[in-house]
Amino acid sequence: TPAGAVTQYSIGAGTGPRAIAFDGTNMWTANYAEYSVSKISPTGTVTTYGGTGTGPRGIAFDGTNMWTANNIGNSVSKITPTGTVTTYGGTGTNPQAIAFDGTNMWTANYNGNNVSKISPTGTVTTYSIGAGTGPRGIAFDGTNMWTGNANGNSVSKITPTGAVTTYSI
């Protein structure tokens, strides 16, 4: 809390949480070791959804649905407000993180050294991140997507047209 009080929640069947996201009401965790996602309500009620993809490592909210980047399964999963899970394959090799750009979901694909854009209809477009290798994080700045490249000690900016600039850090 703002006053510094800490409340710890057990996430039930979820073990190995690797990422956390907020949907405007609830907190969600991507539970890597249990291949599940847990939703924690403001009252502390925990709901765990299985079947959300193998090794979810990243999680993001698109304004309606929660999405996971499934590292082991090379896929992403969408969890609707009613708990329906849809998994999309072919979204990149070892996705580590996922972000929303206002229209599309994007994954940072660690072993692919690329990013994938997943359209609302499920179409996947993959972009090389140039000189960057091992993207583990991804973020949207309002115009461009950015990756943090663990193996390249760099960040890459991907413009809406797909142009990539990599910056050493």
Residue 61 burial (10 A CB sphere; 0-12, 13-18, 19+): middle
Residue 3: which pLDDT band, with cuts at 50, 70 and 90? confident
Pair of tokens at residue 74: 């090379």
Measure the CA dihedral 68/165/162/127, to 10°: -50
The residue written with tokens 């009080």 in the block is 5
What CA–CA distance (Å, rounded) separates 26 from 44? 9
125 by DSSP, 3-state: which? strand
- Dump pLDDT digits (tens) for 111-157: 989 999 999 888 899 988 877 789 999 999 999 999 999 988 899 99
- Dump pLDDT digits (tens) for 61-71: 999 999 999 99
Least confident of 43-52, 61-70, 91-100, 108-117: 43-52
